[in-house]
Amino acid sequence: MVEVSSMPCIKSTWYQLKSTTIESVVKIHANVPGSLSKRIPDEDIETMKIGSIALKIVYNEVNVSMLIFNNKKIKISGGLGKVVCDDMLETEFFLDFISQTLLLPCVRLFHQVEVIDIKSFVFNANIRTEYAFTFVEYMQFVEKIKHKFKESVSLPQMLTKRGKGRVCATKIKSKDGTVMFDHGCNIQAFSFRSLCQLKKITHMVLEEMRTFCPLKSDKPA
């Protein structure tokens, strides 16, 4: 998610996108303010407020989803997993890489700019692993993570009396962002401003999984 300093109003962006034949844009729709699931019919665009525009773009044979919000924030999903880049890139270099390879080409579809001034940003990540937990193993692993990260750990909903959050997800909170993993050994990271910290915490969880549980292919059928 990034916030850019120079963008046309969202309704102008909509008309620009709809009036121009752009082969790389394969899907487009507008959403009402406050919702990403309630779409605005094209015929009602003139009289309704637009909260966001959702685009599905094919860029360099890579599928990229883009959400353009009316507060000049843009969320880009997909693409990076198939784009070749140096795994050792630091935050500022990685931001420049994203801007040049994904953000700038996509924004140029509706707004002619030479450079994009990124005012703020956060990194999110989703990691699917080849590991597997039984229920008992997951409970044991949660205890192991509690011992390692201590007070930074928020237990799954099924282990607390609270009614919030995902039932089987354990959260590790830090000042840099939040990492979450579930019984399916999938890891998600949210709201990191440092790529180094994102990699550090997710790699720590991955290493704990690697030493604790077998690969899914090693599980009995």
Full pLDDT tens readout for the chain, 221 residues: 666 666 778 888 888 777 766 667 778 899 999 988 899 998 999 899 999 999 887 766 778 888 888 887 888 877 666 555 555 567 777 777 777 767 777 777 777 777 777 777 888 888 888 888 888 888 889 889 988 888 788 877 766 665 555 567 899 998 889 999 988 888 999 999 888 888 889 999 999 988 887 655 555 44
pLDDT of residue 164: 57
Say if residue 44 is exposed, middle or buried (CB neighbours under 10 Å; 0-12, 13-18, 19+): exposed
Kindly list the domain boundaries of the chain, sorted by start residue. 2-121, 125-218
Residue 204 CA to residue 202 CA, distance in Å, equals 5
Based on its alpha-carbon atoms, the radius of gyration of the chain, rounded to whole angstroms, reads: 20
**Could you tell me if 110 and 7 are in contact, meaning their C-beta atoms sit under 8 angstroms apart?**
no
pLDDT of residue 87: 57
pLDDT of residue 159: 66
**CB-based contacts of 83, cutoff 8 Å, min separation 6:** 62, 101, 102
Q: What is the pTM of this model?
A: 0.68
What's the CATH number of domain 125-218, 3.40.1350, 3.30.310, 3.40.50, 3.40.390? Answer: 3.30.310
pLDDT of residue 104: 76
Question: Residue by residue, what is the 3-state secondary structure of the chain?
Answer: CEEECCCCCHHHHHHHHHHCCCCCEEEEEEECCCCCCCEECHHHCCCCCCCEEEEEEEECCEEEEEEEECCCEEEEECCHHHCCCCCCCCHHHHHHHHHHHHHHHHHCCCCCCCCCCEEEECEEEEEECCECCCHHHHHHHHHHHHHHHHHHEECCHHHCCCCCCCCCCEEEECCCCEEEECCCCEEEEEEECCHHHHHHHHHHHHHHHHHHCCEHHHCCC
CA distance readout (Å), 116 to 43, 95, 113: 32, 11, 7
pLDDT of residue 98: 73
Instruction: Fill in the amino acid letter for 134.
Output: T
